Amino acid sequence: MRLLTVPNWSFGRDRDLLNIFRDLLEGWGLAIHFLRSDVDHNRTVSAISGDAELIFERLERLAEAAFERIDLNRHVGVHPRIGALDVCPFLRLDDDPYPLDLKIEAFAQRLAERFDLPIYLYEKSERGRHAFDLPTLRRAGFGGLLGQELTPDFGPTRTHQFLGATVMGERDFLIAMNVNFRSDDLGFVKKLARNMRASRDDGDPRFTGVRALGLPLVSRHLVQLSLNLTQPDLTPPDSVIEWALAAARKSGVQHAENELIGVIRESDLPRATRLPVRREQVIAGL
């Protein structure tokens, strides 16, 4: 079975660890679609695809390397997080009758036992024990989980002192993207994000499945509208970006750039013309 995984790690300023990640992934017959760190987010997003069993094996090697170096008590970054391996989604790339749900659970149990790490299953893998969506599971943040009684699917009921907790499971395709502005007005992007979420919750079809945050990028002298489009068939990137740019023009805020984080399906490209897309980020045939 061909599998895609897009693990998000809570480090973005450790260049040596990023190089270790690259060394652990290259030369194994896996496609490396994305591997990039961000200083302000203090986060690294990776996206790899290939044989499912090899994916799980390499992920464990990455976790070994990362968990030796990450201490969330010393972590400072603008992105919400609860874990060193914060979220680890899996997506099927073919119709092979591979028991992905069982493999994810076995992998989660192995990591939980090996590293004494609470692990929550989410989205398609969630089993009715707790919230299924990432924003809810991550709402308290790492600090908010310390000392609390947890209800993970695997591992201890207390968060790990250094590594926090991890969310993993099978989910559908989404598009992660950023719209950045040349401004120090954090209130502007926070208002945009708040308006998008409110419109979504009110049933506005322009924002179906949109998750939005307004974040500062101090090192780049920018502010960022950070977006996840969880239903890209209904809400394509171009329409969301055009809405944000219209709001910026109205407020006199200068647009800087757009970013695609992770991967995009080939079928999404005709409606994602405003995103800079590198060839390796495209999942062909989907």
Tell me the pLDDT band of 24, cut-offs 50, 70 and 90: very high
**CATH numbers and ranges of domains, the chain:** 2-170 (3.30.990.10), 175-283 (3.30.70.670)
44-63 pLDDT, tens digit per residue, is: 999 999 999 999 999 999 99
Task: Name the token pair of 49.
Answer: 């695809």
* Spatial distance between the Cα atoms of 282 and 75, rounded to a whole number of angstroms: 31
178-216 pLDDT, tens digit per residue, is: 999 999 999 999 999 999 999 999 999 999 999 999 999
70-81 pLDDT, tens digit per residue, is: 999 999 999 999
Task: Name the token pair of 190.
Answer: 């926070």
Give the pLDDT mean for 6-34.
97
Contacts of 118 (CB under 8 A, 6+ apart): 112, 150, 152, 154, 155, 156, 157, 158, 159, 160, 165, 166
User: What are the φ and ψ backbone dihedral angles of 9, each rounded to 5 degrees?
Assistant: -115, 145
pLDDT of residue 86: 98
User: What are the φ and ψ backbone dihedral angles of 196, each rounded to 5 degrees?
Assistant: -65, -45
Tell me the pLDDT band of 143, cut-offs 50, 70 and 90: very high
